């Protein structure tokens, strides 16, 4: 009797599962981004959503909550892991402490050029890093460009390595980034992106660092009038999905999500290139002094950061393989 009841329940569950799959429910995937509407990452995820909608005959849609509507990156990452948020576009930096493999592409000067970065992230190494998210309740769908990050300061311009000394520089919430600033003799202050503007204004920090589009869209350039082209990190962005949401999708829909994400990468690169130019123009026109600098002392100072964070065979191997990519 018990056995029959058990079999009955199993059959009912199987039926339910089959029904769920064939009913092909409509879904709206909520996706988080701290950037404002129109920023390349926001537009790339919207585009990904359009592709997904087409592929699923309008069943699955993506709604992007831009401008920090769902919170700062650290909080939205937690919520995505718990399945409260379906998708999240963030930088690799806030994953650094959780997923050691994400440190590698953020390491200072690990890429020789944007082309080198593309080749690595589009290939086998990129796929390995995407796969590392699965153990943390996330499915990483693709990487997006984030250009190169450089320093900006309010009072004291950085014209040489020595000018880093003692400057209070905001960093993303990552131990690797802390260590990087210490190696540069700066005084790192971790804080979320949304706090940086007023911290610059009130003198809580002396400076921060970011790419052209973020420097512009955050309006930090209104306060920080010196931008020094150190280009010390090309830490890419990543689009992730909650594993909880992923598991609700049929295998066909999972494929559609992956394909739509991959196809949005090229679109993002177009948007990014155009935005970088526009942002640079806006910032220069606003009277920000753009300073070129000898990068070698910065590169030379990074050995302890590599020693501390590329600290396992797997991570050392990733670094070596990145450097070997021509």
Least distance to ligand GTR, CB of residue 210, Å: 5
Strand order in the sheet with 187-190: 187-190, 168-171, 207-210, 149-153, 226-233, 289-291
Residue 91 touches ligand GTR, criterion: CB under 6 A: yes
Q: Which of 237, 253, 276, 280 binds ligand GTR (CB under 6 A)?
A: 237
Q: Give me the residue label for tokens 């590329």.
A: 310
Residue 210 touches ligand GTR, criterion: CB under 6 A: yes
Q: Which of 56, 88, 211, 240 binds ligand GTR (CB under 6 A)?
A: 211
Residue closer to ligand GTR, measured from CB, 101 or 210: 210
Per-residue contact string for residues 156-195; x = within reach of ligand GTR by CB under 6 A: ----------------x--------------------x--
CA distance 179 to 2: 61
- Binding region for ligand GTR (CB under 6 A) out of 88-96, 225-233, 273-281, 314-322: 88-96
Least distance to ligand GTR, CB of residue 39, Å: 8
Is 38 exposed, middle or buried, given 0-12, 13-18 or 19+ CB atoms closer than 10 A?
exposed
CA distance 243 to 283: 39
- Binding region for ligand GTR (CB under 6 A) out of 8-16, 90-98, 278-286, 290-298: 90-98
Least distance to ligand GTR, CB of residue 255, Å: 27
Residue closer to ligand GTR, measured from CB, 27 or 178: 178
Strand order in the sheet with 237-242: 60-65, 27-32, 87-91, 237-242, 138-144
Residue closer to ligand GTR, measured from CB, 55 or 66: 66
Length of the chain: 326
- Total number of residues binding ligand GTR (CB under 6 A)? 12
Site for ligand GTR, residues 32 to 71, rule: CB under 6 A: 34
Q: Which of 153, 167, 214, 275 binds ligand GTR (CB under 6 A)?
A: 214
CA distance 230 to 189: 19
CA distance 283 to 45: 26
Least distance to ligand GTR, CB of residue 146, Å: 5
H or E segment at 253? helix 251-285
SS3 84: coil
Structure tokens, 307: 């020693």
Nearest to 265 by CA among 118, 134, 60: 118
Least distance to ligand GTR, CB of residue 211, Å: 5
Site for ligand GTR, residues 287 to 326, rule: CB under 6 A: none
Site for ligand GTR, residues 117 to 156, rule: CB under 6 A: 146
CA distance 254 to 250: 6
CA distance 124 to 262: 14
Residue closer to ligand GTR, measured from CB, 72 or 163: 72
Q: Check: CB of residue 153 under 8 Å from CB of residue 206.
A: yes
Binding footprint of ligand GTR on the chain (CB under 6 A): 34, 73, 90-91, 93, 146, 172, 193, 210-211, 214, 237
């Amino acid at each position: 009797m018990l056995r029959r009841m058990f079999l009955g329940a199993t059959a009912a569950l199987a039926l339910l599962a089959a029904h769920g799959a064939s009913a092909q429910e409509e879904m709206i995937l909520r996706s988080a981004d701290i950037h404002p509407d129109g920023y390349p990452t926001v537009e790339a995820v919207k585009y990904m959503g359009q592709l997904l909608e087409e592929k699923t005959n309008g069943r699955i849609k993506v709604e992007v909550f831009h401008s920090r509507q769902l919170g700062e990156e650290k909080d939205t990452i937690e919520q995505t892991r718990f399945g409260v948020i379906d998708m999240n576009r963030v930088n690799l930096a806030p994953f650094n402490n959780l997923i050691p493999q994400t440190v590698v592409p953020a390491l200072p000067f690990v890429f020789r050029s944007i082309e080198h970065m593309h080749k690595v992230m589009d290939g086998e190494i990129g796929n390995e890093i995407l796969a590392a998210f699965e153990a943390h309740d996330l499915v990483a769908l693709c990487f997006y460009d984030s250009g190169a990050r450089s320093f900006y300061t309010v009072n004291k311009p950085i014209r040489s390595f020595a000018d880093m000394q003692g400057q209070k520089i905001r960093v993303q919430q990552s131990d690797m980034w802390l260590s990087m600033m210490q190696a540069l003799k700066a005084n790192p202050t971790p804080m979320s992106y949304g706090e940086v503007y007023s911290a610059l204004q009130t003198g809580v920090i002396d400076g921060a660092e970011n790419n052209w589009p973020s420097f512009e869209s955050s309006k930090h350039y209104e306060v920080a009038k010196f931008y020094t082209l150190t280009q010390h990190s090309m830490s890419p962005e990543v689009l992730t999905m909650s594993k909880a949401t992923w598991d609700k999708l049929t295998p066909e829909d999972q494929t559609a999500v992956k394909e739509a994400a991959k196809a949005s990468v090229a679109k993002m690169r177009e948007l990014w290139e155009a935005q970088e130019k526009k942002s640079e123009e806006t910032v220069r026109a606003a009277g920000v002094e753009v300073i070129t600098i000898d990068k070698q002392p910065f590169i030379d100072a990074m050995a302890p950061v590599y020693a501390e964070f590329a600290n396992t065979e797997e991570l050392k191997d990733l670094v070596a393989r990145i450097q070997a990519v021509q």
